[in-house]
Amino acid sequence: MFTDASILVTGGTGSFGQAFVPILLKKYKPNRVIVFSRDEMKQWEMAKKFEGDARVRFFIGDIRDRDRVYRALDGVDYVVHAAASKIVPTAEYNPFECVKTNVIGAMNLVDACIDKGVKKVVALSTDKASCPINLYGATKLTSDKLFVAANSYAGGHNTRFSVVRYGNVMCSRGSVIPFFMSIKENGALPITDERMTRFMISLEQGVKLVWQTFEDMEGGEIYVKKIPSMKIVDLARVIAPAAKQEMVGIRPGEKLHEQMISAEDAHYTYEYPEYFKILPAINKWDTDVNRIKDGKKVPEGFVYSSDNNAEWMSDTELSAWIDANWDKIGAI
């Protein structure tokens, strides 16, 4: 699919893009990989890693800028949409800015991809879009709905849109593991709530889910990766066994447990060996055999959340993962 193709990654200097681009270049033979983002310093730093590789292009721009998005998509075949305003407390205190990026930016991208004849678009979502309680989650749910409906909105155009959804990325910038690693020598780790659980997924697993989505999608599906859960108190104990755990309370807009599929979504959800697929509720696409393929309908009332997960990461597994990824933690 990607041989001799042009692929654009919005928010491409973020944690996902830093993992996605080198894997894409190694696994496939694309003609161009365009990194689209608004931070020139991050682009300058990232460009050093690909010096001499003419396939990698860097394009300064903001997803909010409709004209710039159109210009960036000239000749592009596939798009991965990773750009987002995603820090929960920041979104709570700066709601207008979050909406501009996550909602208006998504609308700009949908229009531009259709008009420019892009073949397929995969947008990255978050567990917080399932039954959202914070503004970030609400904007990402809106974004998900926009990308799902875009397959109908496209009319006679052939551009297809789908979404991938996953939880806590284990070594992404600002996530809990690099944060705990950075302060473990202080002798105390802040814990928001001793009951809190989180899904655990590596960047490599997130990238693989995007590949699977591009290969499988018909348009409008939301793909949810099957991944293990872990209690935050256990995660803190593995990282700093001797550190005191101080309960500090849940932050504004923070959830006790992550949820990726709600009971309301269960009616449209199918299970596969490595992921779940939430089919669109519109246009009777949830009964389309081309979208269902060999999926098995989940039970009525099914909920996929980090506290009721069938798979849990052990202390040994987490410790081994940290040892194997020490050089990556906090580096991107």
Delimit the domains of the chain by residue range.
6-166+203-226+259-305
226: exposed, middle or buried (C-beta count within 10 Å: 0-12, 13-18, 19+)? buried
Q: How far apart are the first and last CA of the chain?
A: 28
Look-up of token digits 């309301």: 264
Contact 222, 144 (CB under 8 A): yes
Residue type, 190: P
Token pair 């009971």 in the structure block, residue: 263
pLDDT computed for residue 327 by the predictor: 67
Bridge-partner residues for 201, per DSSP?
169
Q: Which CATH number fits domain 6-166+203-226+259-305: 3.40.50.300, 3.40.50.720, 3.30.2290.10, 3.90.79.10?
A: 3.40.50.720
**H, E, C per residue of the chain:** CCCCCEEEEECCCCHHHHHHHHHHHHHCCCCEEEEEECCHHHHHHHHHHCCCCCCEEEEECCCCCHHHHHHHCCCCCEEEECCCCCCHHHHHHCHHHHHHHHHHHHHHHHHHHHHCCCCEEEEECCHHHCCCCCHHHHHHHHHHHHHHHHHHHCCCCCCEEEEEECCCECCCCCCHHHHHHHHHHHCEEEECCCCCEEECECHHHHHHHHHHHHHHCCCCCEEEECCCEEEHHHHHHHHCCCCEEEECCCCCCCCCCCEEECCCCHHHEEECCCEEEECCCHHHHHHCHHHHCCCEECCCCCCEECCCCCCECCHHHHHHHHHHCCCCCCCC
Question: Residue 19 corresponds to which tokens in the numbers above?
Answer: 């993992």
Provide the pairing of β-strand 269-271 with 275-278: antiparallel
Q: Over its length of 332 residues, how does the chain's per-residue pLDDT go in tens digits? A: 899 999 999 999 998 999 999 999 999 999 999 999 999 999 999 999 999 999 999 999 999 999 999 999 999 999 999 999 998 889 999 999 999 999 999 999 999 999 999 999 999 999 999 999 999 999 999 999 999 999 999 999 999 999 999 877 887 776 788 888 888 888 899 999 999 999 999 889 999 999 999 999 999 999 999 999 999 999 999 999 999 999 999 887 788 999 999 999 999 999 999 999 999 999 999 999 999 999 999 999 999 999 999 999 999 999 998 888 766 654 43
List 128, 140, 231, 277, catalytic entry: 128
- Which residue's entry shows tokens 């892009």? 118
pTM of this prediction?
0.94
131 phi-psi bin (left φ>0, alpha ψ -120 to 50, beta other): left
Non-local CB neighbours of 225 within 8 Å, separated by 6+ positions: 164, 165, 166, 201, 205, 206, 209, 274, 275
Q: What is the pLDDT of residue 71?
A: 98
Catalytic-residue membership of 293: no
Crossing angle (nearest 10°) for helices 203-216 and 15-27:
60
pLDDT number for residue 328:
61
The predicted structure's pLDDT at residue 167: 77
